[in-house]
Structure 1
Amino acid sequence: MTMNQHTITEIEHRKRVDKILSDLLQDHSRSQIQSWIEEGNVKLNGESVKANQKGQAGESLTWEIPETKPLILEAEDIPLDIVYEDEDLLVVNKAKGMVVHPSAGHRTGTLVHALLFHCTDLSGINGVERPGIVHRIDMDTSGLLVVAKNDFSHQHLSEQLQEKTLKRTYEAIVHGEVGHETGLIDAPIGRDPKDRQKMGVVENGKPAVTHFRVLDRFPHYTHVECQLETGRTHQIRVHMQYIGFPLVGDPKYGQRKSLDVQGQALHAKQIAFIHPRTEKRMEFEAAPPAVFTEALDQIRKMY
């Protein structure tokens, strides 16, 4: 491990040590940095420090980034809802609550672990942690994903994502009555400067475009369909919150009081793409899970 050193500036005076480091090391999450602190890899003037300890201007902050342990993925016998499969790809209807690929807080039980049990041939373009994963959806978002079984398919599907010819359509339930029948949200998305665990509409963010149309309207709620033109992290959740209609149940961007739908009421209901080998257009659709339809029924009964 390499020792790194930083002298705390006047601007950083009286800031928490974990906040100073997260601002300096933007490729690492704050939770990662806090784990380094707990493991004794961060020192203030040569002494162990706590995450909430505040630094003084002129003090020396030193840290070591632990070496990443190699990840060995093991296949897990987890049920999968496979909508379509051939020698090149799969289309999977991901369950609400399932993480797509391994990450710091989710080392087991992911879609990738389930895919490895189901089939041994997955593309390697995204490395050992994300075999076959062309695109992803959030843990508490249900719905359709296309998975590549080989690098040939992965390359073609990725190109369709970049060229915006791979179409992804979602349905969501939002707070508030959306007044327009259709709309377009064109607002750049990047890391929220006030909270690095969240995304937000920011001036220097990446271009992000979401199309929406109203499916059903109720007092205080709207059932909408959203189509992604781009695929930024949390895009629909951020964009709908930005225009004043946060998703029902969204723990990160939603209202404190909401219907219990086990996370955001968002379902990837449709996916369409050109098959990499046959060059035929393919389109798949999946109904939302029971918790989504039950929420709609609950809203209808309210009014």
Structure 2
Amino acid sequence: MENIQHSIQESEKGKRLDAVLAGLEYNWSRTQVQQWIKEGNVTVNGAATKPNYKCVPGAEVQVEIPDPEPLDVEAEEMNLDIYYEDADVLVVNKPKGMVVHPAPGHLTGTLVNGLMAHCKDLSGINGILRPGIVHRIDKDTSGLLMVAKNDSAHEKLVQQLVDKTVTRKYTAVVHGVITHGAGTIDAPIGRDKKDRQSMTVVDGGKQAVTHFNVIERFKDFTLVECILETGRTHQIRVHMKHIGFPLAGDPKYGPRKTPDLNGQALHAGVLGFIHPSSGEYIEFEAPAPESFNEFIEKLKKEH
């Protein structure tokens, strides 16, 4: 069992405990936090508490993370595109259309199923459905992911995400022609109150920062590089829509008329981080999938 300590900050005064803990960058869901609180695994100043406890600055919170249950997800042989692997970490190029981790009722065909067949040693920190998963990308986004093969590596990689030292560069095609060469979007992201399955820019949301550079302009579209400073759910898709340039092919955040690309034109092409054991910075680059490049060529011809 792992223990996590957190001192309530002035900025967290009056907020619900479950919301504060879910926002600590450990990839905990609010549902998971609530379950831990109900099971007595979360204490405030040494005493049991409730999910709706209103936080008081200076209070000491202790979270005891239970050991992961035996994984009830089957290993599946897959032809994974492994870019790097050693005893601590694995870097894989996820294809478009593949879900990263299983969910109840959908336990097969995911990247985790393939990873379990490829290697037996994955970090257990994120529980039985997400072994080794440090961060994720959407089903219809292709590109590079780092996977932790032990708990020590997992903690160090998560800390790098918290410290914003991980390099994550994406290539995207957006609707509209961006006239300026570069920009930064600093806008908080949270659940859309009108649609709980979607995210949106909202007051009181989690801080989210995306930098972008224009690579090439076409008749009605722009090819951009997006650099994540934070890693919120659907961040690039939400941020580009927020400034009026939604991603091409995006069924959730794009316009009604958008190219049929079987999902958004978004590729996580560059991933760099400090190796958890050697301390050396390593970086990897994966080319965009053929379908992405074919779409670019089509736009060039039309332009």
- 1:229 corresponds to: 229
**Aligned equivalent of 1:158:** 158
After the TM superposition, which residues 100-179 of structure 1 pair with which residues of structure 2 at under 5 Å, given as runs?
Answer: 100-104=100-104, 106-179=106-179
Distance across 2 between alignment mates of 1:270 and 1:297: 21
Aligned match of 2:86:
86
Q: Deviations over 1:19-42 (max 9, x none)?
A: xxxxxxx967xxxxxxxxxxxxxx
In 2, Cα distance between equivalents of 1:128 and 1:268: 26
Map of 2:192 onto structure 1: 192
Equivalences for residues 25-40 of structure 1 within 5 A: none
Q: Give the 3-state SS of the residue equivalent to 1:128 in structure 2.
A: coil
Matches of 2:104 and 2:225, distance apart in 1: 32
Secondary structure (helix, strand or coil) at the match of 2:109 reads coil
Match of 1:299 in 2: 299
Shift of 1:295: 0.5
Name the SS of the counterpart of 1:196 in structure 2.
Answer: strand
Alignment of 1:39-78 (within 5 A): 72-78=72-78
Q: Please tell me whether Structure 1 or Structure 2 has the larger radius of gyration of its CA atoms.
A: 1
How far residue 105 of structure 1 moved from its aligned partner, in angstroms, is: 5.1
- 1:17 aligns to what? none
Determine if contact 1:99/1:106 at 8 Å carries over to the other structure.
no
Which of structure 1's runs of 4+ aligned residues deviate more than 3 A? none
Deviations 1:6-64 (A, max 9, x none): xxxxxxxxxxxxxxxxxxxx967xxxxxxxxxxxxxxxxxxxxxxxxxxxxxxxxxxxx
- Give me the whole-angstrom Cα distance separating, in 2, the residues matched to 1:299 and 1:100: 30
| 1:206 corresponding residue in structure 2 | 206
Q: Do the aligned partners of residues 27 and 276 (structure 1) sit closer, same or farther apart at CA in structure 2, a change above 3 Å counting?
A: closer
Distance 2:130 2:299 in 1: 38
Hey, what's the Cα distance between the residues in 2 that align with 1:220 and 1:104? 40
Partner SS, residue 114 of structure 1 = helix
Shift of 1:104: 3.5
d(CA) in 2 for partners of 1:126 and 1:277? Answer: 20
For 1:275 and 1:207, the matched residues in 2 are separated by: 26
Letter in 2 for 1:223: L
Map of 2:22 onto structure 1 = none
- Structure 1 residue runs without a partner (length 5+): 1-25, 29-69
Structure 2: 5+ residue stretches without partners? 1-28, 32-69
Q: Which amino acid aligns with 1:119?
A: C
Letter in 2 for 1:194: K
Q: Aligned equivalents of 1:203 and 1:94: distance in 2? A: 33
Cα deviation code 1:114-145 (max 9, x no counterpart): 00000000011111110000000000000000
CA deviations over 1:53-94 (Å, ceiling 9, x no partner)? xxxxxxxxxxxxxxxxx9611100121000011111110000
Matches of 1:200 and 1:258 in 2, distance apart?
19
1:255 counterpart = 2:255: yes
TM-score relative to the length of structure 2: 0.76
Letter in 2 for 1:270: V
Count, aligned residues: 238
TM-score by length of 1: 0.76
What is the Cα deviation at residue 159 of structure 1? 0.5
- Name the CA distance, whole Å, in 2 between partners of 1:174 and 1:107: 33
CA distance in structure 2 between the aligned counterparts of 1:242 and 1:111, rounded to whole angstroms: 30
Shift of 1:107: 1.7
SS across alignment from 1:177? coil
Question: Do 2:219 and 2:302's aligned partners in 1 also have CA atoms closer than 8 Å?
Answer: no
Conservation of the 8 A alpha-carbon contact between 1:259 and 1:295? no
Percent identity, aligned pairs only? 63
How far apart are 1:218 and its partner, in Å?
A: 1.0
1:5 maps to what in 2?
none
**Corresponding letter in the other structure for 2:183:** G
